[in-house]
Amino acid sequence: MMSIQERRGHPRRTIQGVHVHNGVVSGKLLNFSPGGLAIETTSSLRVGALYTFRLGRPWMSFRVKGAVRWSRLARTRSGPGGEVTPIFVAGIAIESEDRP
């Protein structure tokens, strides 16, 4: 059986401290490659849907448009008041990007 890593055309790179948002959904970038990225968010993303995200750090950002290829509940997080927040991870296939 072929693993997900073996099916990818480009190796994924991890990066710390990059935030992802589109006005409704926000989260953090987990990893990226020239063809896609994985994000972590508290919102479930619809598989097949197109989203445009702004990825960035305080000194630089750019927009990426892509289709959700997969999305799953990764874990939950408990808050100080006992509330439970779902944490989702999604894979996005990049269709276009707008770099500065």
For 53-65, what is each residue's pLDDT tens digit? 988 877 778 899 9
Phi-psi region at 23: left, alpha or beta (left = phi > 0; alpha = psi -120 to 50)? left
Question: How many angstroms separate the first and last alpha carbons of the chain?
Answer: 41
CA dist 49 and 29 (Å) reads: 18
Give pLDDT tens digits for 10-61: 677 787 788 888 888 889 999 999 899 999 999 999 999 999 998 887 777 8
Q: Which residues pair with 67 in a beta bridge?
A: 50, 93
Q: What's this model's pTM, rounded to 2 decimal places?
A: 0.81
